[in-house]
Structure 1
Amino acid sequence: MEAFKLVNFKNEYNTNMPIVRSIEGSECEAVCRSLFRSWHVNTLEEFFEKEEQEFVLLDDINAEDEDFDWNKVFNSIGIPVPNEVFINFERFNSIDVFLFKDFCKYFDDIWYPAADDIEVFDASFNWIVSVKHYGAVHYAKI
């Protein structure tokens, strides 16, 4: 996650962002390899191409909506709510892990409209939810 978001969070809540852990370097590469293997892709380009072509748009859900609710997202696509979620902000250079409840509570502090495209997944690698910078929510399940 970008440093300015951590600073903004600290200024607003007078505490640190509740990230369980940040995954970087070789650990991040290992997570990416596992994710890519599960999704039958070999490169970032193949992954993002698959995302663009095969992920399903949730027409009635937009992350910019005032009443956006991650529980509603998971219910609508039939994914059990996980304990932890992995958040990729860019090109899988680093991944932040949050407790799902904290991710939901602080989503507006994590995802910035107009700036962020994120992928949300868990350690099973069986599903991915993508939130585009304009609020569109897409998903895929294995």
Structure 2
Amino acid sequence: MQDFKIELFEKEYKINFPSYLHLSEQDSFSIRSKISGKYNLSIHSLNKELSSIELPLEDINVEENFDISRIFEIIELSPLSKIYINWYKFDDIDLFNLVDFNKYFYDIWFPSSDDIDIFDESLNWIISIRHDGFVSYIKI
């Protein structure tokens, strides 16, 4: 999570930013390896290969009253209570409480700059949200 987002959040809401865990480089590599194995993709071109098999969610508009539970309903998922947010190439990953992520989505994801992937420990699904609000997913 970028420091400036935390500072903006705390200045605006006058509360502490929700608790989250930033994964170590080793833990991020472990997740990247597990995803690579689970989806039978090359670890070296994981982002590119994932994007080639994602399915679009065209009825979702992230820029208007986004609620991630709506996506879970559409693709029939029951996520765990903690979700991972991949900020780049599965080398910059944060672990958030799902409720906090949904409640403060627009304080975490910034349009025009953030491309993120969301998944839980099961790795059975990955939801991608691009900087332009386009949403796609992969589900086993």
TM range (shorter): over 0.9
Is there any run of 5+ residues in structure 2 with no aligned partner, and where?
Answer: none
Amino acid at match of 1:132: R
Determine the C-alpha separation between the residues in 2 that align with 1:42 and 1:50: 8
- 1:33-62 per-position Cα deviation (integer Å, ceiling 9, x unaligned): 1122112122242x2222322111011002
Partners of 2:79 and 2:120 within 8 A in 1: no
Determine the C-alpha separation between the residues in 1 that align with 2:97 and 2:44: 26
Question: What CA RMSD, in Å, does the superposition of the two structures yield over aligned residues?
Answer: 1.3
Indicate the residue corresponding to 2:57 in structure 1.
58
Matches within 5 A, 1:22-61: 22-45=22-45, 47-61=46-60
Q: TM-score, normalising length from structure 1? A: 0.91
Report which stretch shifted further, 93-102 or 15-24: 15-24
Greater percentage in strand: 1
In the comparison of the two structures, how many residue pairs are matched?
140
Change over 3 Å in CA distance of 1:6–1:44 after alignment to 2: farther
Q: Secondary structure at the match of 2:114?
A: coil
Q: TM-score, normalising length from structure 2? A: 0.93
Amino acid at match of 2:47: F
Change over 3 Å in CA distance of 1:33–1:107 after alignment to 2: same
Determine the C-alpha separation between the residues in 1 that align with 2:97 and 2:27: 19
Note if 1:10 corresponds to 2:10: yes
Q: Secondary structure at the match of 1:138?
A: strand
Q: Identity percentage over the alignment?
A: 35
Note if 1:122 corresponds to 2:128: no
Determine the C-alpha separation between the residues in 2 that align with 1:91 and 1:19: 23
Determine the C-alpha separation between the residues in 2 that align with 1:15 and 1:22: 20
